[in-house]
Structure 1
Amino acid sequence: MLKKFIPAFGWLKNYQKQDLKGDFSAGLIVAIMLIPQGMAYAMLAGLPPVIGLYASTIPLIIYALFGSSRQLAVGPVAMVSLLVFTGVSALADPGTEEFVSLALLLALMVGVIQLAMGLFRLGFLVNFLSHAVISGFTSGAALIIGLSQLKHLLGIDIPRGSVFLTLSEAAKNITDTNVLTLLIGITSIAILLFFKMKMKKFPAPLVVVVGGTLLVSFLNLKDQGVKIVGEVPMGLPQFSLPAMSLEAIMALLPIALTISFVGFMESIAVAKAIASKEKYKVNSNQELNGLGLANIIGSFFSAYPVTGGFSRSAVNYQAGARTGLATIITAVIVIISLMFFTPLFYYLPKAVLAAIIMVAVFGLIDVKEAIHLFKVKKADGWTLLITFIATLTLGIEQGILVGVAVSLLLFIWRSAYPHTAELGYLEKENVYKNIKNYPHAKTYEGILIYRLDASLYFANMAFFEEKLRTAINEKKSVKKVLLDFTAVNSIDAVAIHELEELVHQYEDAGIEFFIAGMKRPVHEVVERAGWTKKYGDKISFISVKQAIEAIR
């Protein structure tokens, strides 16, 4: 029973000694990646770098115990960090105590929302975020995140704002660029890209962090205008409850919902990808439980919202992680760093952290996916593009809302205007097919065979009726209409009523209606509407072929 609620009992009980080597090496490598990334992402969120380290401790241990993925690397990620900044900066100035307090409250809210979704088995709700929306949103947000780091890369002050404001301000103040800061940033980007292309498993962020810190320290570049992280508090975070007020909760609710959905989508996507390779199943509702508890308990220990990250999870898996112990080892190493090694980060240049962020997020801009979607289905391509543009121009929250609205409108449009077809018989293949695609298909004198490729309900009934009337009018000699219901999965009361009216109208004109291939759930609904008594065997044909034989 405990295994169901705490999946860690499963792998702890059956832990194999041979898995320890892989778990330890993966935990160590991910920790080396996570320490600089956690600090960088906290800076991106408008928080002190140490908050990123706090978010890389307790939440990781909680997820390892309650999550269903064995290789997912949980912690601060760029996308969620930007969302935190977007939501909280509207209520408080970044870096202030009030800002930090609201970020911790936001983590608690995100955790409660995710845990509630998991307990009530609402994981399916994320299906409303289509792949096209996520891809467009991710690319747009990645561009915003990357360009937001220009000020740290150039060493100049650029006010927060839209992408276009950032670029224009950077261009205006380009002459004020601190050359040393720019050189450190560009060199860091070059090193990170080199290792990303040549040696993906190598912890390149550690190289640029150590190199940048030593360079600034020995050459005293702080006095030359190179901005550094400064003092990072040593020690573990103390237990405390996030400050709560109804006003703050209501103000943060929209961004909390956005982070809950987007964070879970990012997490479940990579968790499922790895699980499929390892031949085990990831439970989406259990993932919500794990992430929810990680955020709730993490908020009591000064952590801001966390989720599973693409890059670190890939490294965790490639480095040999076999169980959640790898994630626990990562958390323990970060805890040791907090207790003993934070003074070493004093001279860490912010340009290096900016480089880590930029390399991580620019890889999320997926031009190939956009081209692919436009090639396969233009509607999905346009959804991606509209979401991308909306994210850049309107903002992060508005961008994803526009994307969801567009995808839902497309879904409604498709269901309101479904595909229909007149069918003909292919004797050799012994099947009935659309005569537009198979002009040589055999049709029958006085009989119209018509198929609807969707469920029938109030929104598409008028369209179906119009298409059917047109088909009947075009075929002057029609005396019998056979409706192929094999693709109709459901029917509502409005559609039943409208279809009855249609049948009565045409019966008065001497045209008889039949239905073939009606599925059991649909048959049960029309039976309750009295169709069995009204139409008898006319609606009970198993297949079009059986109906045609009986009609003829």
Structure 2
Amino acid sequence: MSRLYDVMPGLNILFNYERKWLADDAKAALSVAAVALPVAIAYAQLTGVNAAVGLYSCILPMMVYALFGTSKQLIVGPDAATCAVIAAVVTPLAAGDSIKHWQLVITMTAMTGFWCIIASRFKLGVLADFLSKPILMGLLNGVAITIIVGQFSKVLGFTFDEKYLIERLGGVPTYLSQAHVPTILMALLTVSIYFGMKRLKPTWPASMFAIAFGAALVWLLNLEQLDIKTIGIVDGGLPLFQAPDFNVGIIRELVMPALNLAIVSFVSMMLTARSFASKNGYDIDADKEFMALGMANFASALSQGFAVSGADSRTAVNDANGGKTQLVSIIAAIIIAIIAICLTAPLEFIPSAALGVVLIIASVHLLDLKAVWKLRQKDKQAFYLTLITLFAVLFIGVIPGITLAVLLGLFQFIRTVMRPTDHILGVDINGVVRSLDTSDKAKSIDGIFIYRFNSPLTYFNSSYFKRRLLEQYARHKDDIQCVIIDAVPCFTHLDLSVMAMLDDLNTIFRKRGVRLELAGRKRQLLAWFEKADIKSGSDGIYVHSDLYLALRINQSKQVTDEEKPTI
């Protein structure tokens, strides 16, 4: 049973469920379902598929995540960023064929799930920290602005002919002349009801009421005769699996976008999951979360849905209503399933303008330009990184922007590893080893030079390590008899290029009459020296168990040398 619990952490909680949690979980589930319904329908339109597909994308994925996930509060489902990415990839490939469009969406969703499961198998949960916060901020702000501009066509009653944001903005004067007054009035009514509900009943699902009111008006007053567009017939019922029917070669076009989507979805989901886990006092497992996200996406593809991620707004609703366990996801999924199977007829009257308003409001919540501007004062490098990602999404598109964001994250990591900080070490009045700085709390030791390199050594930064060590040594070379390298932070794995560099350093220092010594990882280093054919001890490089032992031995040697009688 423990093995099963390890694979499906949610089962442990469900099998040991306490009855006192049920009231809070049921209340939270009703609230989550009420918020998820209109958002799922709106995101289906954003993705370019039937409204029922948005509902399917909530049902099985929520149930599957409840079993495989380690977060007690996280709700998975359609997300603005993931839907925008899918639409950007699939729309040009489908070339106006709605069936092909839907099947490509399903295929990309399955591929995203595949990448997530592969990442979990290789324990790549560390990718949760791969995209830095500044890069993710730029990405989400760019996606939000792109969605907002795109949805204005639904709100104003026209259709964009251009694909990219800049071209769309350039055609604004022409498009404004095509604005449809009844559609604009419907959008304004939706906005009024939404914010009116938010003010009068803050805890109620304002989006659901606004959309329902608009649909009721369309049905009662037959507003379609005024050319107010609705989402049309919603094919409800149980989803029937359909094998993709298109040229298999198209799948090649989906491989890298699906990988990008997997990374972005996971990073975004982990930010939400970690914040609520911290708030509620428990930990989550990043590798298992990768598996849970992959399985949720597979479940969505099998039920003819589209890609899902962690939904921060629905997770916040869950937490605010006191949701205790993953049972919230299961109950909410059942409610949505009943509607998707039995109650889809009223959905066809939902005005497209109302859904556009809901998407714009949801995207505005993604925007945080104030935080971007604050970065300018806190960290200019992070600020410029955010701006590059933001403008890349706006100017060259969502997919190239995400690709650039992933590459920036990779380059940022490589730069950190290749050019890390380093320190010269000394000891304070209590004999504790610490960095030498302007505070003068630590002093250097006569005749001994201690160096620390704050990154794992590998073939692509070994030359930099050698150069930095020799530069720092040159500044302190007066009467230096011994150079000690703190081996703990930098010698983490065997790299023959690093071993060759170390041998070169030893030769350089021996010619200058200086001993080269390493402190820490003694057993590992001696084993690596043997494999690399490097001598240790008096004939090569000295290796000590730790820095303090290295210092004691060298200081004792200095005392012994001073006590030797001169001839």
Using the size of structure 1 for normalisation, the TM-score is 0.90
Q: 2:392 aligns with which of 390, 412, 428?
A: 390
1:546 aligns with 2:552: yes
**Given the superposition, is the C-alpha separation of residues 550 and 401 from structure 1 closer, same or farther in structure 2, using an over 3 Å criterion?**
farther
One-letter amino acid matched to 2:457 = L
Aligned to 2:275: 273
**Given the superposition, is the C-alpha separation of residues 217 and 525 from structure 1 closer, same or farther in structure 2, using an over 3 Å criterion?**
same
1:483 aligns with 2:487: no
Using the size of structure 2 for normalisation, the TM-score is 0.88
One-letter amino acid matched to 2:154 = H
Deviations along 1:336-393, one digit per CA (max 9) or x if unpaired, are 2233332222321111111111111221122344345444443333322222221222
Pairing of 1:126-525 with structure 2 (within 5 A): 126-189=128-191, 191-193=193-195, 200-243=202-245, 245-427=247-429, 430-438=431-439, 442-443=443-444, 446-475=447-476, 477-485=478-486, 487-490=489-492, 492-517=495-520, 521-522=524-525, 524-525=527-528
Aligned residues: 551
1:112 aligns with 2:114: yes
For the residues of structure 2 that align with 1:8 and 1:454, how far apart are their CA atoms? 38
Cα distance, 1:108 vs. partner?
A: 2.3
Which segment is superposed worse, 73-82 or 261-270?
Answer: 261-270
Aligned to 2:563: none
Percent identity over paired residues: 28
For the residues of structure 2 that align with 1:425 and 1:533, how far apart are their CA atoms? 25
Quick check: 1:50–1:232 contact (8 Å CA) kept in 2? yes
Unaligned runs of 5+ in 1: none
Cα distance, 1:528 vs. partner?
A: 4.8
Cα distance, 1:52 vs. partner?
A: 1.0
For the residues of structure 2 that align with 1:319 and 1:123, how far apart are their CA atoms? 29
Cα distance, 1:541 vs. partner?
A: 6.5
Quick check: 1:158–1:170 contact (8 Å CA) kept in 2? no
For the residues of structure 2 that align with 1:149 and 1:304, how far apart are their CA atoms? 20
One-letter amino acid matched to 2:508 = Q
**Given the superposition, is the C-alpha separation of residues 442 and 33 from structure 1 closer, same or farther in structure 2, using an over 3 Å criterion?**
closer
SS in 2 for 1:459: coil
For the residues of structure 1 that align with 2:113 and 2:455, how far apart are their CA atoms? 38
SS in 2 for 1:363: helix
Cα distance, 1:519 vs. partner?
A: 6.1
Deviations along 1:56-105, one digit per CA (max 9) or x if unpaired, are 22332333233333322222221111111011112113561111121122
Which segment is superposed worse, 268-277 or 384-393?
Answer: 268-277
**Given the superposition, is the C-alpha separation of residues 296 and 488 from structure 1 closer, same or farther in structure 2, using an over 3 Å criterion?**
closer
**Given the superposition, is the C-alpha separation of residues 118 and 509 from structure 1 closer, same or farther in structure 2, using an over 3 Å criterion?**
closer
Which segment is superposed worse, 197-206 or 99-108?
Answer: 197-206
SS in 2 for 1:133: helix
For the residues of structure 2 that align with 1:489 and 1:508, how far apart are their CA atoms? 24
Deviations along 1:258-286, one digit per CA (max 9) or x if unpaired, are 22222222323322322333333333333
For the residues of structure 1 that align with 2:539 and 2:184, how far apart are their CA atoms? 80
Quick check: 1:481–1:514 contact (8 Å CA) kept in 2? yes
Unaligned runs of 5+ in 2: 559-567
**Given the superposition, is the C-alpha separation of residues 95 and 160 from structure 1 closer, same or farther in structure 2, using an over 3 Å criterion?**
farther
Pairing of 1:33-52 with structure 2 (within 5 A): 33-52=35-54
Cα distance, 1:301 vs. partner?
A: 2.6
SS in 2 for 1:513: strand
Quick check: 1:266–1:309 contact (8 Å CA) kept in 2? no
One-letter amino acid matched to 1:496 = M
Cα distance, 1:546 vs. partner?
A: 2.2
**Given the superposition, is the C-alpha separation of residues 353 and 522 from structure 1 closer, same or farther in structure 2, using an over 3 Å criterion?**
farther
Quick check: 1:242–1:299 contact (8 Å CA) kept in 2? no
SS in 1 for 2:452: strand
Cα distance, 1:128 vs. partner?
A: 2.6
One-letter amino acid matched to 1:356 = V
For the residues of structure 2 that align with 1:537 and 1:465, how far apart are their CA atoms? 15
Cα distance, 1:412 vs. partner?
A: 2.2
